[in-house]
Every structure is written in C-alpha cells, then in structure tokens.
Homo-oligomer: A and B are copies of this chain.
Amino acid sequence: MIDQKDLEFIKNSLSFFSELDKDQQLSLQQAILKKEYVKGEIMQGGAQNCSGLFLIYSGQVRTYIISESGREITLYRLFDGDVCIFSASCMMKNISFDIYVEVEKDTQSFLIPTQALKRLSKNSLPVQSFINNIMALRFSEVVWIMEQALFTSFDKRLANFLIEQSIIDNSDILVITHEKIANHLGTAREVVSRMLKYFQNIGLVKLSRGSIEIIDKDKLEELV
C-alpha cells in the first residue's frame, strides 16, 4: 500500500488526480502498486507485457524499439516524476509497435495496473486528456529522434549523445560500451567505434576499456 508521502508525490505528478471524484480517487489509491527495479532489468518487454501506467519516483529508464534484425534505437528516457504510458499500450487502440523499457539506474516507481487505468479512462475526461498530452509529448520526442537519425550527420549525433550522457551521469567519464551507444543511436557498433577513434584523434575524448573520458567539452559542444 502507498503511504501519505507517496500520495503527495502521485497527486503532484498526475495532474488529473485532483479532478477525479472521491470514489475514483479512493479506488485509484487502492489499485496503485509500488514497484522496484534494479539496473539492467526489463520493465516492459514488448507486446507480451502490458503492466499499466508507470510513474517514476526515482531512478532512470530508457524506452526503445528493436528491429527484426535485432538493432535497437532509444526513443526517450524517463526520470523522476515522468510517466510511461506505452507499458499500457494493450488498452490503447491503434498502437501497433512494441516498446521496450530497460532500467538504467535502480528505479522506484508506482504502477497503475492496466485494468484500473482502463476503468478510469473510460469515465474520466481529465484522464483521457492526460493520456493525450503524454502521447503527444512522446510523439514529438520520437519525431525529433527520427529527424536526428535521418537528417543529422553522425558526428553531431554522437557528440550530442556524449554531452547528454555526461549531464545525466554528472561526470566527464562515461562508463558505457560502444555497443550500448550504438543501441541508443540505432546504428552498428563499428560505426560508433570508428567515430570515437576519430574524436580521440582530434583531441575531444580519451578512450579506455569500458569508458570514454570527455577531454574538450567546448569543442564537442561546437560540433553540435
């Protein structure tokens, strides 16, 4: 069960909460589950799996799609207070792709199970409108990713990824494999390794086994 502190967090994060009537609020409170995940776990593994709406309390997850040949690309990441609706996509008409959610840092979350969410959204305009807004937000992020992948040269995309990652990790030393970066950016490992070596040659980064150190952040930012 959730306690008073949890409830405050939920109320602040889910803008529709205050617009529900007393009965709806109570049944939602009773339905919400606390879920904890450790780094590396898959919270949502494609269409087979449809737990419900996740609200991240603390931690970090990434959502991605996988091609038939096994290639990945990251769509967006979720942090404290963010909401994942595609883990409830089985209740949504017309969603025909499978989204995967992987835990990047140990994560505490709240889950509104699909059945409870379905019941709510059927009868509540604020809930429908909330889902609408989240979907529009994710749609915009995916269009941005597509624009980047199609129209931006790979050196810029990689530089951008390294800068973002160093902000997220709050460190200039990134502990990440070339394979992982390739999965984020929807490309092959060799492409990442080649560009990183070039970055090292022109003095932007220093490569070590399993980590990448950003040496010249200003120049890296210029590239973006």
Contact = CB atoms under 8 A, between A and B. Distances in A.
A95 B144 CA distance: 11
Of the four ranges (under 10, 10 to 19, 20 to 34, 35 or more), the interface on chain A belongs to: 35 or more
Given A71-B150, A142-B146, A143-B97, A136 B92 contact: yes
Interface stretch (A51-59, A123-131, A213-221): A123-131
Contact of A150 (B95, B133, B138, B149): B149
A144 to B, nearest CB: 7
A90 to B, nearest CB: 12
Interface in A17-65: 65
Contacts of A124: 125
Interface of A: 65, 67-69, 71, 73, 92-97, 123-125, 128-129, 131-140, 142-147, 149-151, 186
